[in-house]
Structure 1
Amino acid sequence: MDVPDLVRQSLGDEEIQAGVSLGDDDAICFTPTRSLVYRSEGLLSDEGVSEYAHDFERLAVSEGRRKTKYTMTYVDREEKFTVPGNRTDPVLERLVESNLRIEGVLDDDESVTGVFRFSELTLVVAQQRVLKHVGSYTWDGDFEVYDYDDVTGLHFEDGSVATAVVIEAGGRPERIKAPNEQAGVVRRTLQEALFDYHEVDSLDALNRKIAVETEDPNADESDDHSSGLGLDSGIDPLVSDSDDDEAAESEPEPAAGQSGGGTASTSARERDSSAGQSTQTAASTVDLESAADAASTAAESTAASSDDLDAVTDQLEELTAAVEQQNELLEQQQRTVKQLIEELRRGR
């Protein structure tokens, strides 16, 4: 990409580290501290260069059908610029990389190899670490970093809709779900970065090399130091076999005259059974009364719910009519805007 003269004049003492063509003669050039957006001369604008510092606090990305808008929020201001939709990813990678480098997160010679956005999740793959950010903004200072030196495992769990990327750091797993249509690129980018860093050529070889040793270092000690009681632990059981035998021998046999005791016990059990049946009958009566009260309450709730449903239905009908009217107005406005654009084009 040829660097326009106006961009060279704006560089000062800095050098261009990367650049992305924006179509025609437009381009965006990245220095260590700034993004220089160059717009060539056209029918509606003059040639010019806009500067955007890389020390922004937040970065928001809004994609349209043809253009993507980047909004950078600083401590005291907010700035925006747009690029063609097919240049979204390379520009985003360079913006995030420049911000991370100026904030001291990346090394001076470390580059970003991929930036992936899944709803409110942004995943950044760099040469020596992977970063994760969750939030309504594409990027801000609230992110997590997993250095490749701390990664102890990498796995992928396939699903019907999304693939779970499981990154283990210090033995603790972190799951990141990627939609299946993007999962292949995410997997390839992340594997290539880790393979290059650890100098391996396969996922199995990577996991063998970075796996954490989980064996108990005291596993080889003798069984005498185990927490359980051994046969020779020196602790006698509370009741021995001999004590059981003596207890059995000393237990007196029932006398012949005590046979009536069984009849008395049987009568007592019959009285207890009769009392239990009476209690159950009383409980059943209470349950029937409770069920009748619950049925009455449910009937009243159903009547109230029917009234609420009618009211909600009326509100929905009113809202539907209002939305249809607004849609008609929007269509009229769109037709007016299209007509205005056509007239402007014809006037060029």
Structure 2
Amino acid sequence: MSLPEIVQSSLDDESVAARVGLGGEDLLLVTPTRTLVYRAEGLLSDEAVEEFPHDAERVGVSEGRRKATVTLDYGLDGERSFSAPTKQLDQVIHPVLAGVLNARGVTDPGETVKQTYRFSELTVVVTSARLVRHIGEAVWDEEYDEYHFDDVTDLDFEEGSVATSVVITVDGRQERFKAPNDQARALREGLVAAVCAYHGVEDLDELRAATAEDDEDADAEPGDTVSFGDGPGPLDTSGVDGDVDDASDRSEPTASEGMAGSDGEAAARAAGASADPDDGFGDSGFQSAGVVDDPAVARELAELREAVEAQNERLERQQRTIEQLIEELRQGR
């Protein structure tokens, strides 16, 4: 159906997102930035178009038996109103409110406003990505609550004799509001469908299972594996003629030598190096430094061995003393 010429010129090439009949030839058209109300020519008035920008701070509604008034409050710029048949009010409020939420940055570009529900002084808007809730005389103002579906992990509906409690679990906490039983079913179906579609699941059971898996993954500690540092250092081959540190040739110390302290460990490693003829390099071209055949070195090794033996004797005496003490304690001394 073509639009009147006066409407087409008022659109300024903007697309029409919604179109609602207001009785007779009167129309309400919603664009991304404005609501246009077209009044056809009548006996008492000429053809006209009124524009209502969507950057309103408040949207209010006053309902009469036959007519309702929608008021957009622009703060310091005042208020502007238009009338619509009461029976068409819900169809009018839905696209107008969607335009205002988008203009005010409540919804993101590309986000779809799916349903609008009005329960006395409670307005609930379900979009493709969030639930917006406003409590008060106005349909919407800047004092509103929103729950993004990315944070919603569960939905529940507790039916009472008059109203149904809608329970939304958001980031581990529960948020509640009530809807009259005669309208609660429509809200339930619309909200569940939107949340499940957002999370890519078929129903609430799948949503709960998916969010439970996410919680388990989040609880897993990332540092449970054993770290061995950066591993062994590279073999240093920077010495002249390919010589390497003789530590690579040393055999492991014995248990008694390990108890003897640093001096004993040094003596044991030195003794092991002198006793091991296999340098471990084969035909690689590397040669072990070995032990230099020098009288001074031999004396040092002998002294170290004596020190190790003396330390072992002291350890044995200490061990005997400890065993004696344990025995006396057992006897109650």
| Worse overlay, 108-117 or 173-182 | 108-117
Separation of aligned partners in 2, 1:149 and 1:108? 17
Secondary structure of the 1:86 match is: helix
Secondary structure of the 1:149 match is: helix
What 5-or-longer segments of structure 2 have no aligned partner? 222-333
Separation of aligned partners in 2, 1:13 and 1:201? 40
Aligned pairs for 1:299-338 (under 5 A) are: none
Separation of aligned partners in 1, 2:117 and 2:35? 21
Aligned to 1:181: 182
Deviation at 1:194?
1.1
Deviation at 1:23?
2.3
Aligned to 1:209: 210
Whether the 8 Å contact between 1:152 and 1:207 is mirrored in structure 2 is yes
Which residue identity does 1:174 align to in structure 2?
Answer: E
Aligned to 1:19: 19
Deviation at 1:2?
3.2
CA 1:133/1:155 → structure 2, altered by over 3 Å: closer, same or farther? same
Separation of aligned partners in 2, 1:159 and 1:112? 28
Aligned to 1:312: none
Aligned to 2:168: 167
Secondary structure of the 2:132 match is: strand
Secondary structure of the 2:94 match is: helix
Q: Could you report, residue by residue, the CA deviation over 1:164-187 in whole angstroms, capped at 9, with x for unpaired residues?
A: 110010010001100101101110
Deviation at 1:61?
0.8
Whether the 8 Å contact between 1:154 and 1:207 is mirrored in structure 2 is no
Separation of aligned partners in 2, 1:145 and 1:183? 19
Aligned to 1:54: 54
Deviation at 1:102?
0.9
Deviation at 1:217?
6.6
Aligned to 1:144: 145
Whether the 8 Å contact between 1:153 and 1:171 is mirrored in structure 2 is no
Q: Could you report, residue by residue, the CA deviation over 1:55-109 in whole angstroms, capped at 9, with x for unpaired residues?
A: 1111111111122210111122111101112211121111111011111221221
Whether the 8 Å contact between 2:153 and 2:207 is mirrored in structure 1 is no
Separation of aligned partners in 2, 1:206 and 1:216? 18
Separation of aligned partners in 2, 1:8 and 1:216? 58
Aligned to 1:221: none
Deviation at 1:216?
7.7
Between the two proteins, the alignment pairs up a number of residues equal to 219
Whether the 8 Å contact between 1:69 and 1:82 is mirrored in structure 2 is yes
Secondary structure of the 2:201 match is: coil
Deviation at 1:14?
2.2
Is the aligned partner of 1:6 residue 2:9? no
Whether the 8 Å contact between 1:163 and 1:178 is mirrored in structure 2 is yes
Separation of aligned partners in 1, 2:88 and 2:137? 22
Aligned to 1:156: 157
Deviation at 1:206?
2.1
Identity %, equivalent residues: 48
Aligned to 1:70: 70
Separation of aligned partners in 1, 2:37 and 2:219? 58
Whether the 8 Å contact between 2:154 and 2:204 is mirrored in structure 1 is no
Which residue identity does 2:117 align to in structure 1?
Answer: F
- TM-score (norm: length of structure 1): 0.60
- TM-score (norm: length of structure 2): 0.62
Secondary structure of the 2:215 match is: coil
Aligned to 1:115: 116
Whether the 8 Å contact between 1:37 and 1:49 is mirrored in structure 2 is yes
Whether the 8 Å contact between 2:41 and 2:47 is mirrored in structure 1 is yes
What 5-or-longer segments of structure 1 have no aligned partner? 219-348
Separation of aligned partners in 1, 2:137 and 2:87? 23
Aligned to 2:39: 39
Whether the 8 Å contact between 1:156 and 1:163 is mirrored in structure 2 is yes
Q: Could you report, residue by residue, the CA deviation over 1:266-323 in whole angstroms, capped at 9, with x for unpaired residues?
A: xxxxxxxxxxxxxxxxxxxxxxxxxxxxxxxxxxxxxxxxxxxxxxxxxxxxxxxxxx
Whether the 8 Å contact between 1:132 and 1:143 is mirrored in structure 2 is yes
* Higher share in helix: 1
Aligned to 1:315: none
Separation of aligned partners in 1, 2:32 and 2:198? 24
CA 1:153/1:99 → structure 2, altered by over 3 Å: closer, same or farther? same
Aligned to 2:271: none
Deviation at 1:17?
1.9
Aligned to 2:94: 93
Larger Rg: 2
CA root-mean-square deviation: 2.0
Which residue identity does 1:169 align to in structure 2?
Answer: V
Which residue identity does 2:215 align to in structure 1?
Answer: E
Separation of aligned partners in 1, 2:137 and 2:81? 17
Whether the 8 Å contact between 1:57 and 1:73 is mirrored in structure 2 is yes
Deviation at 1:48?
0.7
Which residue identity does 1:107 align to in structure 2?
Answer: D
